[in-house]
Amino acid sequence: MGPRSRSGDLWSGLALAGLGAYILFAARRWDYMTEEGPGAGFFPMWYGGVMLVLSLVLVAGAVVKPGRHAQVAWKDVSRALVAWVAFVACIALMPVFGFVISFALLAAFIVKVMCAEKLRTAILVAVIGSAGFYALFEWALDLSLPKGMLF
Amino acid sequence: MDILSGMLNGFQVALTAQNLMMCVVGVVLGTVIGVLPGLGPPATIAMLLPLTMKLDPTGAMIMLAGIYYGAKYGGSTTSILLNVPGESSSVVTCIDGYQMARKGRAGAALGMAAISSFIAGTFGVVALMLVAPPLAKMSLAFSAPEYFALMVLGLAMVVLLSGESLVKALLAMLVGLWIASMGTDLFSATSRFTFDRVELLGGIDFIIVAIGVFAVGEVLGSLEPSKPADMLPVPKGFRNLLPTWEDMKKCRFAFVNGSLVGFLIGILPGAGSTIASFMSYGIEKAVSKHPEEFGHGAIEGVAAPEGANNAETGGALVPLLTLGIPGSGTTAILLAALVLWGFKPGPLFIQDSPQLFWGLVASMYIGNVLLLILNLPLVAVFAQLLKLPAYMMYPLILGVSIVGVYTSSNSMFQLGLLCGFGLLGYLMRKLDYPTAPLVLGLVLGDSMERALRQSLMMSAGDISILFRPIPSVLLGIAALLLAVPLFKRFNSVRVQVVDREA
């Protein structure tokens, strides 16, 4: 993988250029100017245009001088991405298992897998954490936690 | 209501049992998160904000403000004992504070940090009390074009000082503006960027973005491998935490310097407490009779920056409360909190909500006294928090984030958005995109668009309305600020300042 393909500036610049183009495209469907004054498309048209130009400047910089820009260390990123997937899975499981069980699973995963602690510690943190959240929010503060089909 | 009767009223509000308790909770929580590296005031305030919706707004605001300034007291503890700043504003305290600790003077350094924070923090509150009411009266003359120009200037300053790359800071701000314009357009009832989702018709709740970017993004970043630092011991006994009379005499100028520089820098949007602390440190070193001692454990090198970062709080609240313009990520969240509770920060805020304004100011006097009491004898207790294993913190932060978002909306869709913004926050950190411009763009985007469109409606589309005296001066300054990177000499100063912040 060459430095250009690893450049965070290049990829983020391209993504933002896509977003800028989308904003411009979407804003075209709305009024730019009406009899009363600027319409719904006025403001997005301007910031979308500026976003497109600036992101292309970023891309051009990354292409012309690839070494000078942010390089992503994918090894470090992979750990964070695994944690993020676990977080997403926890939220996806909530309609079925509810907050208490889904959060316990997430806590156990982070402690055991991400932080490489003992299984006993992971279970302890998961159980105490879930029970603590339930006691604090459901009982003490009278705030509702996400409920699932099972809990 | 004049200042004296306002303050009397404020103390009546702040000294009720409930508000006093909220102040204690806020400053203790603030100290705790200040001590813990990695968890900052924006993340904590964002996570707790939804949970304060059932509380009395004055009490809730007193607590959130307590977290904001309390964190600055706590941040010095890790700087001195670990050489790791608990908050970015305590970075400069590492230089001389850690050297003092290595020489066996940790107690004096911790004590001086608390005393200086108290003196300058109190000065900041006095200055806020004196400056805010006349500034609010002055800004009553502002209408839509002036507000639009003021917001552009605020955003330009934040963008200028937020990251090494101005292009990335601008892009982050533009993404914030885009998120702000999602939902139903209030002028024409047109749905914008809703992707045919009913849930997006009301726009994206600021809380979801703030919690995702600050709290979830922070946890994801912290899960990357890092080397733990060794902690120096806290001296036992209260007497060992008190600086000597000689130390106090040495720091006379540092107290004044930190107070003035901190407050003045605080008023400027974007500059923030880190820059205030570096500036006061630089001034202290420049005027010192013994500049060679700086970097080797000079006690003035602890007093000046710690004072500045606490005085900055009072300064930062001036534009927030009187103009409705926040200058940093944390004050942007405080602005969102005020708006969620139904208040309108701006020129009429003090007049319309005297209980909240004066109650908050009075609570800050009380909070500073509480923090001095907490941070002198109890510093050893707070230092023990550094032994708290990280594996307990990560699930806790993620859990509070989920509950915070869910309780504010009762919607699984919003939790899905939280996942997205968490990833965005992490990627922004990873790719060196500053997060403050995004948050400010999001908070100000709606008001900015409204002010611009109202201005152009007033003038029937004639853009020259933005070139009336006040807006043209403000927009001119904003344009000059954004042109700084074009001048090598000025840009190198800007990059140095940003590097220090990072």
Helices (H), A1-151: 3-6, 8-27, 42-64, 74-109, 119-133
Distance CA(B150)–CA(B152), nearest Å, equals 5
Is B465 within a domain? Answer: yes
Chain A residues 111-140 within an 8 A CB cutoff of chain B: 111, 114-115, 117, 121, 125-126, 129, 133, 137
For B340, other C-beta atoms within 10 Å of its C-beta total: 18
Cβ contact B453–A72 (<8 Å): no
Q: Residue B58: is its pLDDT beyond 70?
A: yes
Backbone φ and ψ for B385, nearest 5 degrees, come out as: -60, -25
Distance CA(B37)–CA(B43), nearest Å, equals 12
For B138, other C-beta atoms within 10 Å of its C-beta total: 12
CB pairs under 8 A between A and B: 171
Q: Which residues of A touch B398 (CB under 8 A)?
A: 87, 90, 106, 110
Is-contact B113 B299, C-beta < 8 A? no
The two structure tokens encoding residue B80: 């001195």
Q: Which of A43, A106, A125 sits opposite B392 (nearest CB)?
A: A125
Q: Which residues of A touch B208 (CB under 8 A)?
A: none
Cβ contact B415–A91 (<8 Å): yes
Q: Which of B165-169, B228-232, B361-365 has the lowest mean pLDDT?
A: B228-232
pLDDT value of residue B425 = 94
Chain B residues 389-408 within an 8 A CB cutoff of chain A: 389-392, 394-396, 398-399, 402-403, 406-407
Cβ contact B395–A31 (<8 Å): no
Averaged over B13-41, what is the pLDDT?
88
Cβ contact A145–B453 (<8 Å): no
Q: Which of B54, B171, B391 sits opposite A54 (nearest CB)?
A: B171
- Neighbour-count burial for A14-30, b at 16+ CB within 10 Å, e otherwise: eebbebbbebbebbeeb
Is-contact B407 B51, C-beta < 8 A? yes
The two structure tokens encoding residue B351: 């007049």
A18 touches chain B (CB under 8 A): no
The two structure tokens encoding residue B112: 């001086």
Distance CA(B369)–CA(B385), nearest Å, equals 22
Tens of pLDDT, residue by residue over B374-416, are: 887 777 777 777 777 878 888 998 998 998 889 877 889 999 9
Closest CA to B312 of B364, B376, B378, B355: B364
Q: Which of A31-40, B264-273, B396-405, B475-484 has the lowest mean pLDDT?
A: B264-273
Q: How far does the CA of residue B44 sit from the closest CA of chain A (Å)?
A: 17
Is-contact B268 B327, C-beta < 8 A? yes
Using pLDDT thresholds of 50, 70 and 90, give the confidence band for residue B175.
very high
Q: Residue A50: is its pLDDT beyond 80?
A: yes
Closest CA to B154 of B393, B354, B388, B319: B319
User: Of B83 and B374, which is predicted with more confidence?
Assistant: B374
Cβ contact A44–B181 (<8 Å): yes
Cβ contact A38–B460 (<8 Å): no
Is B256 within a domain? Answer: yes
Averaged over A92-113, what is the pLDDT?
95
pLDDT value of residue A5 = 46
Can you give the residue range of the structural domain that contains B251? 3-233+244-501
Quickly tell me which residue has 């997006």 as its tokens: B200
pLDDT value of residue B493 = 67
Is B163 within a domain? Answer: yes
Q: Residue A149: is its pLDDT beyond 90?
A: no
Is B168 within a domain? Answer: yes
Using pLDDT thresholds of 50, 70 and 90, give the confidence band for residue A4.
very low
Single-letter code of the amino acid located at B382: F
Is-contact B174 A47, C-beta < 8 A? yes
Percent pLDDT > 90 in chain A is: 66
* DSSP code per residue over B17-75: HHHHHHHHHHHHHHHHHHHSTT--HHHHHHHHGGGGTTS-HHHHHHHHHHHHHHHHHHH
Cβ contact B461–A42 (<8 Å): no
Q: How far does the CA of residue B270 sit from the closest CA of chain A (Å)?
A: 21
Chain A residues 25-44 within an 8 A CB cutoff of chain B: 26, 30-31, 33-34, 36-40, 42-44
Closest CA to B425 of B220, B120, B177, B142: B220
Q: Which of A26, A103, A137 sits opposite B193 (nearest CB)?
A: A26
Q: Which residues contact B121 (CB under 8 A, 6 or more apart)?
A: B69, B72, B73, B307, B310, B311, B313, B314, B364, B368, B371
Mean pLDDT of chain B: 86
B422 touches chain A (CB under 8 A): yes
Q: Which of B167, B220, B403 sits opposite A57 (nearest CB)?
A: B167
Tell the burial category of A118 from Cβ atoms under 10 Å away from its Cβ (0-12, 13-18, 19+). exposed
pLDDT value of residue B461 = 83
pLDDT value of residue B55 = 86
Q: B191 forms bridges with which residues in the sheet?
A: B184
Closest CA to B87 of B255, B298, B306, B361: B306
Is B239 within a domain? Answer: no
Is B238 within a domain? Answer: no
Q: Which of B253-257, B279-283, B313-317, B490-494 has the lowest mean pLDDT?
A: B490-494
The two structure tokens encoding residue B187: 């002028």
Is B428 within a domain? Answer: yes
Tens of pLDDT, residue by residue over B315-338, are: 999 989 998 888 777 888 899 889
Using pLDDT thresholds of 50, 70 and 90, give the confidence band for residue B59.
very high
Cβ contact B431–A9 (<8 Å): yes
* DSSP code per residue over B417-472: HHHHHHHHHHHHHHTT--SHHHHHHHHHHHHHHHHHHHHHHHTTT-GGGGGSHHHH
Chain A residues 58-97 within an 8 A CB cutoff of chain B: 58, 61, 70, 72, 76-77, 79-80, 83-84, 87-88, 90-91, 94-95
The count of structural domains within chain B is 1
User: In Å, how far are B89, B285, B309 from B281, measured between CA atoms?
Assistant: 12, 6, 11
Q: Which of A23, A83, A94 sits opposite B223 (nearest CB)?
A: A83
- pTM summary value: 0.82
